[in-house]
Amino acid sequence: MKKNTLMAIVMVNSVMLSASAFAAPSTGGEIFKANCSVCHPHGGNIMRPDKPLKGIRNPERIISQIRSGGGGMPSFDVKTISDVDAKQLAEYIMKTFKK
Mean predicted confidence (pLDDT) in 39-67: 95
29 pLDDT band, cuts 50/70/90, is: very high
Q: Which CATH number fits domain 25-96: 3.20.20.70, 1.10.10.350, 1.10.760.10, 2.60.120.260?
A: 1.10.760.10
Does the pLDDT of residue 74 top 90, yes or no?
yes
20 pLDDT band, cuts 50/70/90, is: very low
Does the pLDDT of residue 11 top 60, yes or no?
no
Can you give the pLDDT at residue 6? 47
Q: How far apart, in whole angstroms, are the C-alpha atoms of residue 42 and residue 88? A: 17
The pTM score is 0.73
